[in-house]
Every structure is written in structure tokens, then in C-alpha cells.
Amino acid sequence: MTGFSFSIAATDGRARTGAIHTPRGEIRTPAFMPVGTAATVKAMLPESVRATGADILLGNTYHLMLRPGAERVARLGGLHRFMNWERPILTDSGGFQVMSLSDLRKLTEEGVRFKSHVDGSEHFLSPERSMEIQRLLGSDIVMCFDECPALPATEARVAESMRMSMRWAERSRAAFGDRPGYALFGIQQGGVSKDLRAESAEALTRIGFEGYAIGGLAVGEGQEAMFGVLDYAPDMLPADRPRYLMGVGKPDDIVGAVQRGVDMMDCVLPSRSGRTGQAWTRRGQLNLKNARHAEDPRPLDEDCACPACRGYSRAYLHHVYRSSEIIASMLLTWHNLHYFQDLMAGLRGAIAEGRLDDFVKDFHALRAEGDIERL
Amino acid sequence: MTGFSFSIAATDGRARTGAIHTPRGEIRTPAFMPVGTAATVKAMLPESVRATGADILLGNTYHLMLRPGAERVARLGGLHRFMNWERPILTDSGGFQVMSLSDLRKLTEEGVRFKSHVDGSEHFLSPERSMEIQRLLGSDIVMCFDECPALPATEARVAESMRMSMRWAERSRAAFGDRPGYALFGIQQGGVSKDLRAESAEALTRIGFEGYAIGGLAVGEGQEAMFGVLDYAPDMLPADRPRYLMGVGKPDDIVGAVQRGVDMMDCVLPSRSGRTGQAWTRRGQLNLKNARHAEDPRPLDEDCACPACRGYSRAYLHHVYRSSEIIASMLLTWHNLHYFQDLMAGLRGAIAEGRLDDFVKDFHALRAEGDIERL
């Protein structure tokens, strides 16, 4: 298999399970992609990320273009070799992060001019430059360069932004060119407006992409509003292509998204939470900084097979977190990524066996009886 | 083998190679002990520390008594279980660190009263309390509680301090009691005075210990002065017991100490250096923060088998160090510990085969032709 393709093995309601095939390996769907912003999933070695069950990582174009620079990564053999991860990588386009992280942005039809948050240097991103950067990085799944207005935004502003993103999607497709084995994904916008979502989906489908993302969600609108959009948005996109919900999410967000037909997700949550002393488990969240864990000999989750749960007590994790030891970030991140991948494996198995409703019921029941700490 | 014993397999000049046998496993000598101050070798999982070739870790009584507390560690099953390291652990007595780290010390014949640098709470350490703490931790090799005057110190002050440490050694021996399988080491003091070192060695030998440490060195006196003491001090101690040089050192310190009959050493250097972007190699030191590494595709050391050298370029290590990514500390610490253990294995092999002089000549020659950066 040298091309890029997607196959659906089973469906259960609107949920689907299958695999994305790429020259660098298979991505089992629904898939959760750990985020490796600056060419590392923070506090993890790549072989450990793989051991949690991850088939694909996400890299951030914005961060990598600023440091170490896309041309430099290319000269060093590409992002896979640079960060020692031989499996598929998806890169975002930089569009979202340039708007949220950089200083002094100037947005025009042509693209975005901005100053680096690292060293103040001036940079320019456009659909063409984003495609070039993602090609230099060697990304397997390339995202269209898009724009997403800050919330709250009027429907007129959302519409205007979405239409520019659709023009940029066309420019992205043209700039991407013909690259067998690599994929370009379009990004649906339109906020929480069904009409705009439909218009966006239609525009993207007309251009044609190897996969389709649902953008502009998980930006503070809340789960109810997000699920409201997911009740219709995935079905507007071609059923035979992977659907990627960007930036999601908490475990219950993931479960709800999969129920609504989403195939791929990414989020910094498991790794970021790990660095702030938070553990996600089947029974809810634990906040290891709390004194109640100081002498608790139990692992985070007695049924978890990750190294943190096999080798260490909550008391130890409390101690190393309180002592600002790096191993706290290492173990909690590993546990969280393991839990998220376990959840994905559970969802895939349930869909394959047509018992997703029961799986979801059990998922919520276990959390409800759990010992959840406010984070 | 359920007891504690030491066997010398071969000697070469004054250097010795052999093994310390303990119920928790064998310690190949000469041994380098990574430091796991607060129940973790910083930035490493214990299985990774083991993978570098470490047979034994050092834990710090001072840090552990303050956080999480010795009684708490005991209730959680002891330090080995707490930190997930089943092999031997040596703990220092707290004597050195209480003098260098704590606030408001009051030193009397009875012991030291001090305030914690963590939370300001009041604590007391004495030979008896130090023995109790090290027993609660479950340490395999327990160190006598001693005192070491800050440098510079008059010979009179050094003599007075050494004689109190010898009285404390007697109290330590009495308080340690009869614990088969566990060892108590005496600590020779006396600064750079041959007479005082002899007096101290005699006092310790009269009491009798399972092993003997050389204390009061590596505290800023310089390599020449240290080697000056090592030219005679080890031979003052019983030849059939392990000799442990505390707090040493750089690779060339280690080589010189082994040549002079030292069997065990410990130092924070490989792990601390790793966290500040420094790599130790057979060809000298590299400072990964330097811009010259930004596009260097070579590993730290082409002949090194550690994960950092097998998977990553200097350019990557430069990038992640500059980006303050945790993986920089993880990979550089791993490499440094691997290099230090490789060096110990090389020394052991050379002594066993009677070619230590050649080994040392090659060691220095490779460093001289190397590409050493100022740290």
C-alpha cells in the first residue's frame, strides 16, 4: 500500500470504525492524536507515545516554522527523522495558532503577517506558504490554511471568515499539488450556523479533499453547542472520507463526537493535564497535588496497565508532583495518554461489535460512581 | 546469598574490581551511583536508570526526611517500593546536606537542630535519628552521621570536627544494631591532613564497618588536592572492605580515584548537567545550547548506544533544549548516565585484564583530541 486511503470496517449508528492507510503506517479510527507541538510530545519519548497505542501524532506548523524552522527541518531529513517518529504525522496549517499566539497580526486576503512570540521576528503565512512549510516538514496529512474568527463573533463575521477560508482552501489545494501517499484535508467552518456549515461543506466537497476537518469548534462554545453542531455537521461531509474534529477534547467530548460520526481528534489535554498534576481515569479526574493523596498506596487506576499505574502509588505521584520533579510530568502524561488511547480502543471495539450504546452507558456510569476531583 | 559481602576479583596497581553482594542484588565495582535525591533520579524512569547499567542508587536522607518524611515512606513500604527501584540503595546520613542546605543550624555534640528549606519546619538530626531514618527508608547501605566543616577551615577546626564525627560514628554503629543483609559504612574525615586522615581511619577501623567512605573531599579543594589525599587515604582503610569516595565526580576525577583504589562513587553531575544542556562524551563535553549545534545532524557520540545517540541529532537536542522541552533533560540525562556507566564498565574490564594504564592513556588521549566546549 503506497497511497493514502480510508476504509470503514463497521458502523454503529452514526459512528464508524476503520483505518486510514498511509505509506508510513495505518491509523486505526476513531483515532486520538497526541499533540507534539515543537517536535516532541511533552515529557514523553516517542517510543513511549507509541506504546500508549498512538498511530499518529500532530505537529504544529506555527511553532515549527518559528523554531527550528521548516527549511532547517527539511535539511535535517524532515520532521519524522528529526523527532524520531516514523509513523504518520498530521500538521495543522498554522492558521489557528497564528491568530491566537502571535503578536501584531495583519490579516488580508493574501494571508497573515505576524511577529513571532519567540523572538519578535516578522513572518508571513498564506495558503501557499503553509503548504510549502508542511511539505518541508514532510507531514503525511496536511491541513488547509484557514482562518477562524475569535468568539464571540457575529454571524456576518463568521460567514465572511468562512468564505475567505473556502477561497484559501482552493488555493491550498492548488498549492499542494499532486503528492501520492500524502493527503490534504479541507476544514469546514461556519461556527454554530447550520446554513454556513452546509455552505462550507459544499464548497469543500466541490474542491475535493482526501479528508475533511470540522473546524471552529472546541474554542469555548461549550459541549452542548459543540454537540449541537456535531448533530449535523459530520453528515454534510463525504461519508467515504475521514472526518477530523480539531482540538477535541475531554473524554466525554470524545465519546460524544465518535457517536456523531467523527473519525479523528487531537488535543493537548492529556499531556498538558499531566504536567499540572492531573490524571484522567475511567472513574474521573484526580488532582495529584491534593494532600488527600499523600499517603494513598493505590495506583491511579487499579485496572490500568500503564507504567505509572503498574509501578507507583498515588502517594508517590503526589510527592514528586509537590517536589516539582520531572518524573511527575513523565508518569502522569504517560498515564493520561494511555487512558485516552485505551478509550479509543474501547470505542473502536464497541463500534465493531455493534455495542456502542452499552459502551457509552458504562463509560458514563463508571464516571458517575467515581471519585472525581475538581480540577 | 542473604548477607552483605564484598569480593575482589582482580587488582591492577592499587585499583580493584569485584562486587558487593547484597540481598537486593550485586553491585559491580568500581561502581558509579546515580543520585536520586528526592526518590527519583531527575528526568529518568528507574528502569531507564537500570538500562544505563546502574546497580545501585543513592538517596538523600536530608531531602527524604523533610519530604515526604521517613515515617511516611516506611508506611508506604519503604523507599525501594516507593520509588519503584528494587535494587540496592545507599543513603547518605543527612549530615553533609543539613550543613549546606538548611537554615538556622545549631550544632552540638548531641546533633544538629535546623529548619527545613522546604517549609521552615524545625527538625533534629543526630547519629541515632539518622540511623532510624535510614532504617525507615529501608536503605541497604547506611552511612554514619558525620559532620564536615565548611572550607576553608583551620587544621584545628578540621581535627575537632573529625573527632566529633568519630564519636558520632561510634554512636551510629551502636544505634544501627544488628541488621543482617544491611551495611553500615564509616566515613573517614580529616581534610587534607595525612595525620588526621590516619587518626580517623584508625578510629573507624577500631569500631568496625562493612565499608568505609572517604568524606570531606570534592568540596571545592580541586582535583590536585583531592588526588593528593587519595594517594594515601584509601590505603589507610581495610583492604577487604569497599571504599566509597563521596560526591565524585567528573570523568577524569573518577578515573583518577579508581586508579587510587576507590570502589564506589556518586555524583549529581551526569543528571544535573543533562538538565542544563550539557553532554559528557568520550571526546569531552558538548554544550547543546550553543548555536553551532543548530544544524548538526550527528549524534552526540557516534559510538554511543544510548537512546539519545541512537535516535537524535545534535540539532534536535539543541532545538528541544532551546525550546525548554522536558525531552531535552530526559535524553541528555540518559546519555550522560549511560556514558558514566560505560566508563565504569570500561574501568572494570581494564582492571580485570590488567590493562588499566593503557585504558587511562586512551581515555585521556581521546579527550585531548576531542571537541570540548567550555561549560
Question: Are β-strands A112-115 and A103-107 bridged in parallel, bridged antiparallel, or unpaired?
Answer: antiparallel
Whether A171 and A308 map to the same domain: the answer is no
Backbone angles phi, psi at A119, to 5 degrees: -135, 10
Whether B258 and B146 map to the same domain: the answer is yes
Number of domains forming the structure of chain A: 2
Whether B212 and B361 map to the same domain: the answer is no
Nearest to A313 among B76, B312, B326 (CB): B76
Q: pTM surpassing 0.90?
A: yes
pLDDT reported for residue B84: 98
pLDDT reported for residue A243: 98
Cα–Cα distance for residue pair B143/B127, rounded to 1 Å? 10
pLDDT per 10-residue tile (average), chain B, 375 residues? 89 98 98 98 98 98 97 98 98 90 86 91 96 98 92 91 97 97 98 97 98 94 96 98 97 98 98 97 95 97 97 98 98 98 98 98 91 58
Top residue of A298, A330, A337 to mutate, by most chain B CBs within 10 Å, is A330
Query: Domain ends where: A241, A267, A293?
Result: A267
Cα–Cα distance for residue pair B62/B98, rounded to 1 Å? 6
Query: Domain ends where: B226, B242, B267?
Result: B267
Domain assignment of residue B346, given as a range? 274-368
Please determine, for the modelled complex, whether the ipTM score is greater than 0.90.
yes
Top residue of B321, B327, B332, B335 to mutate, by most chain A CBs within 10 Å, is B327
Whether B24 and B170 map to the same domain: the answer is yes
Is A75 in contact with B326 (Cβ distance < 8 A)? no
Nearest CA to CA, how far is A83 from chain B (Å)? 7
Whether A237 and A284 map to the same domain: the answer is no
Whether B50 and B151 map to the same domain: the answer is yes
pLDDT of A161 strictly over 80: yes
Instruction: Give contacts of A67 with chain B, Cβ < 8 Å.
Output: 319, 322-323
**Long-range contacts from A118-123, C-beta under 8 angstroms, 24+ separation:** A118/A66, A118/A67, A119/A66, A121/A66, A123/A65, A123/A66
Mean pLDDT computed over A347-375: 89
Instruction: Give contacts of B67 with chain A, Cβ < 8 Å.
Output: 319, 322-323
Q: How confident is the model at residue A375 (pLDDT cuts 50, 70, 90)?
A: very low
Is B322 in contact with A45 (Cβ distance < 8 A)? no
pLDDT of A102 strictly over 90: no
Query: Across the A/B interface, how many CB contacts are shorter than 8 Å?
Result: 102
Cα–Cα distance for residue pair A181/B190, rounded to 1 Å? 71
Whether B54 and B175 map to the same domain: the answer is yes
Nearest to A327 among B40, B297, B312 (CB): B40
Nearest CA to CA, how far is A79 from chain B (Å)? 10
* Catalytic position from the list A12, A55, A92, A253: A92
Whether A102 and A201 map to the same domain: the answer is yes
Is A325 in contact with B44 (Cβ distance < 8 A)? no
Whether A38 and A105 map to the same domain: the answer is yes
Cα–Cα distance for residue pair B128/A116, rounded to 1 Å? 59
pLDDT reported for residue B375: 45
Active site residues of B: 92, 266
Residue A375 inside a domain? The answer is: no
Residue A374 inside a domain? The answer is: no
pLDDT reported for residue A2: 67
pLDDT of A374 strictly over 70: no
Whether A248 and A328 map to the same domain: the answer is no
Whether A253 and A314 map to the same domain: the answer is no
Instruction: Assign residue A117 the CATH number of its domain.
Output: 3.20.20.105
Residue A86 inside a domain? The answer is: yes
Mean pLDDT computed over A222-244: 97
Residue B334 inside a domain? The answer is: yes
Residue of chain B minimizing CA distance to A44: B327
Nearest CA to CA, how far is B52 from chain A (Å)? 16
Nearest CA to CA, how far is A287 from chain B (Å)? 18
Residue B209 inside a domain? The answer is: yes
Query: Domain ends where: B225, B246, B267?
Result: B267
Instruction: Give contacts of A36 with chain B, Cβ < 8 Å.
Output: none
Residue B165 inside a domain? The answer is: yes
Residue B331 inside a domain? The answer is: yes
Is B45 in contact with A75 (Cβ distance < 8 A)? no
Nearest to A295 among B44, B75, B313 (CB): B75
* Catalytic position from the list A55, A146, A263, A266: A266
Cα–Cα distance for residue pair A317/A301, rounded to 1 Å? 13
Of A168 and A374, the one with more pLDDT: A168
Nearest to A83 among B72, B75, B316 (CB): B316
Residues A238-291 have pLDDT tens digits of 999 999 999 999 999 999 999 999 999 999 999 999 999 999 999 999 999 999
Average pLDDT across chain A, whole number: 95
Residue A75 inside a domain? The answer is: yes
Whether A188 and A285 map to the same domain: the answer is no
Strand partners, B123: B114
pLDDT reported for residue B100: 83
Strands annotated E in chain B: 5-12, 15-22, 25-29, 31-34, 57-59, 89-91, 103-107, 112-115, 122-125, 141-143, 183-188, 211-214, 243-245, 264-267, 278-281, 284-287
Residue of chain B minimizing CA distance to A45: B327
